[in-house]
Chain A
Amino acid sequence: MIRFENVGMSYGGGTEVLRDVSFELAPGSLTFLTGPSGAGKTTLLKLVFLAERPTRGTISMFGKDIAAMRKGDIPALRRRIGVVFQDFRLLDHLTAYENVALPLRIQGQSEESYRADVEEILAWVGLGERMHARPPTLSGGEKQRIAIARAVVARPPVLVADEPTGSIDPEMGVRLMRLFVELNRLGTCVLIATHDRNLVEASNARELRLFAGRINQAAGARWL
C-alpha cells in the first residue's frame, strides 16, 4: 500500500535527514515508528502524507509512483490519507465540530449528511460537550483529540499519526489507541510515530525504529 525504496530526504539541500529508507506497509497493517527526538519521524510521515517530496529514492502509494503522478491527482490521493499532525494544526476560528467536519466539507458533502458522523466521533473522543468550543479555549489534550477525530472522520484507508498521545493522560491514551486498533481491524492501514514505549509494547504491532535518519533493520526485522 505504501512503499519506500532507498528514500533520502534533506531540507533545502542540507545534510540528509533520512537516508536509504526502505520499507513497505501492507493494507490493513498497524505499524509504529519509533526513535529518539530528531531522528526523522515527522519527516518520514511528511513524505507519506505528501507534504514533502523525497530528494532521492522512490515512494509509491496505492501502487503508484508519486513522482510520476499528475498534479491534479494529488488532492484525491491526500483525501485517502488521514493525518494527525504533531502540532495539531487546528483552525482556531472554527469550532471543534467544524474542525472535525473539515475533510468532509472539502469532499463536498453537505452538513446534513455528515452531522451525525461528526457528532459521533466527537462523542467517542470525549468531546461531545465541547463541540462548539474553539481551539484556543481548549486544553492541549482536547486539541489533540480533535486532531485525531478530524483525521479519522472520513474513514480514510490510510491513517498517519504523529505523537497522537503526546498530550494525553495514559487512560485517554489507551482509549484512543483502542480507536486506532479498531479502525485498523476495519481495514485501515495505520502508521503511528511515538516516543511512548508503553503504547508500543501494549500492542503486538510491527515497529520501525528510526535512528539518525536510518531504519534500524535489525529491530524492524523482529516484526517482519
Chain B
Amino acid sequence: MVVSDSARRPDRASPLFPRGGGEGALLGVMAIMSFLACVTLAFALGATRLAHIWERGLSGQATVQIADVAGIAMEAQVAGAMQVLGATPGIGAARVMTREESEDLLRPWLGDADLGAVPVPVLIAITLDPGAPLDVEGLRGRLAQVAPGATFDDHSRWNQGLTSASSAISWAAYAVLLLIAAAAAASVVFAARAALQAHRDVVDVLHLTGATASFIGRQVQWRFFVLGGGAGLAGLAFAVVFAIGFSVLVGTGGSALTSLAANWDVVLWLLLVPVAAAVIAMATARFTVRRFLAEAN
C-alpha cells in the first residue's frame, strides 16, 4: 500500500497528552454535580420569587377590623373610621365589606353555624396607595378617637415572617451551591492529578525539553474546560427533563412547558451552571498542573 506522506499528514497536531484515563468518570461526577446545582439554583430562585409575589400581594392590602364596643353604635364607629381613612394620605381606597363577605371570611374558623345571632366584626378592606407613604401610628391614633373598637392591620407581621423565611431558604440554597462547587473542584483536582500521574513520562519529557508550567497547563486546561462544560450541559438537560417529569407526575404535565416558557429567565440563570462547571474545571486543572509541577521539581 502506497500512501503519500502529504495525504496522511494529520490536519491538526495531536494533543500532547493522550486521551482516556479517568475522563469518563469525571464527566459522570461533574454531570451529577451540575444536575444538583441546577435543582438547587432553581429552588433558590423559586423561593425568592415566591416571597416577592406574596409580599407584593400582601403589602398592597390592609384591613381595619371594628369590634362591637358598648356605648357606641357600630354604624357610628364605621362612619367615623371611613371618614378618617378618606382623609389619610397613603390610603388608596377603602370599602366596608358586607356581612356576607365577612361571614365568608370567618366560615373556615366557625364552620357552617348560623352566625345570625353572633356579633360579627365589621371589616373595611383597604387598598394602599403605593405613591404616598402611610403614617401607620398616626392613623391608629385617629382611628382610636372615633372608633375605639377599630384595629388597623397592614399584614406586616405576616410579611416579615415570609420574607425572613424565604431569604433563609435562599441563603441555605446558595450555601449548598458553594458546597457543590467545592466538591466539583475537588473531583477535578483528583482527576487532573491522576491524569498527570498516568502520563508522568509525557510531563517529564515536556519539562526536560523546556516547556513552562503554563505551556503544560494549556495542554490540559482546555480539555477540562470542554469536559466541565459538557458535563454541565448534560446536568442541565437532566434537570429540565426532571422538572418536566416531576410536573407530569404531580399532574400539571400540560402546564410544565408553558411554565418553563414563562420562567425563561430562570432557565437563563440555569445556563450559568454549565458555564460555571467549565470555568471551575479549567481553573482547577490549571492550578493542579502548577502544583504538580512545582512538587515535581
Q: Is there a chain A Cβ closer than 8 Å to B13's Cβ? A: yes
Chain B neighbourhood of A75, CB < 8 A: 210-212
Q: Is there a chain A Cβ closer than 8 Å to B206's Cβ? A: yes
Q: Smallest CB-CB separation from B294: which chain A residue?
A: A71
Chain A neighbourhood of B87, CB < 8 A: none
Q: Is there a chain A Cβ closer than 8 Å to B8's Cβ? A: yes
Judge whether B14 and A89 touch: CB under 8 Å: no
Chain B neighbourhood of A111, CB < 8 A: 13
Judge whether A106 and B206 touch: CB under 8 Å: yes
Chain B neighbourhood of A101, CB < 8 A: 13
Chain A neighbourhood of B208, CB < 8 A: 49-51, 78, 83, 89
Judge whether A103 and B205 touch: CB under 8 Å: no
Judge whether B210 and A91 touch: CB under 8 Å: no
Judge whether A89 and B205 touch: CB under 8 Å: yes
Chain A neighbourhood of B18, CB < 8 A: 93
Per-position binary interface string of chain B over residues 191-215, scored 1 when its CB falls under 8 Å from any chain A CB and 0 otherwise: 0000000000110111111111001
Q: Is there a chain A Cβ closer than 8 Å to B5's Cβ? A: yes
Judge whether B206 and A95 touch: CB under 8 Å: no
Give Cα distance in the complex from A131 to B13, angstroms: 14
Give Cα distance in the complex from A111 to B208, angstroms: 21
Judge whether A89 and B210 touch: CB under 8 Å: no
Q: A132 with B201: in contact, given A51-B208, A93-B14 (CB under 8 Å)? A: no
Judge whether B14 and A94 touch: CB under 8 Å: yes
Give Cα distance in the complex from A129 to B9, angstroms: 12
Chain A neighbourhood of B212, CB < 8 A: 75
Judge whether A91 and B5 touch: CB under 8 Å: no
Judge whether B210 and A76 touch: CB under 8 Å: yes
Within A67-113, the residues touching B (CB, 8 Å) are 71, 74-80, 83, 89, 91, 93-95, 97-98, 101-103, 105-107, 111
Chain B neighbourhood of A93, CB < 8 A: 14, 18
- What band does the interface of chain A fall in when counting residues whose beta carbon is under 8 Å from B? 20 to 34
Judge whether A132 and B8 touch: CB under 8 Å: yes
Judge whether A106 and B215 touch: CB under 8 Å: yes
Within A102-135, the residues touching B (CB, 8 Å) are 102-103, 105-107, 111, 128-129, 131-132
Chain A neighbourhood of B14, CB < 8 A: 93-95, 98
Judge whether A106 and B211 touch: CB under 8 Å: yes
Q: Is there a chain A Cβ closer than 8 Å to B260's Cβ? A: no
Give Cα distance in the complex from A132 to B210, angstroms: 24
Q: A91 with B9: in contact, given A75-B210, A106-B210 (CB under 8 Å)? A: no
Give Cα distance in the complex from A136 to B206, angstroms: 19
Q: Is there a chain A Cβ closer than 8 Å to B69's Cβ? A: no
A-contacting residues of B (Cβ < 8 Å)?
5, 8-10, 13-14, 16, 18, 201-202, 204-212, 215, 297
Additional pairs, 4, CB under 8 Å, beyond known A74-B297, A89-B208, A106-B215: A80-B210, A89-B204, A101-B13, A105-B16
B-contacting residues of A (Cβ < 8 Å)?
49-51, 71, 74-80, 83, 89, 91, 93-95, 97-98, 101-103, 105-107, 111, 128-129, 131-132
Chain A to chain B contacts (Cβ below 8 Å), 13 pairs: A71-B297, A76-B210, A78-B209, A78-B210, A79-B210, A80-B210, A91-B205, A93-B14, A95-B14, A101-B13, A102-B16, A103-B209, A131-B5
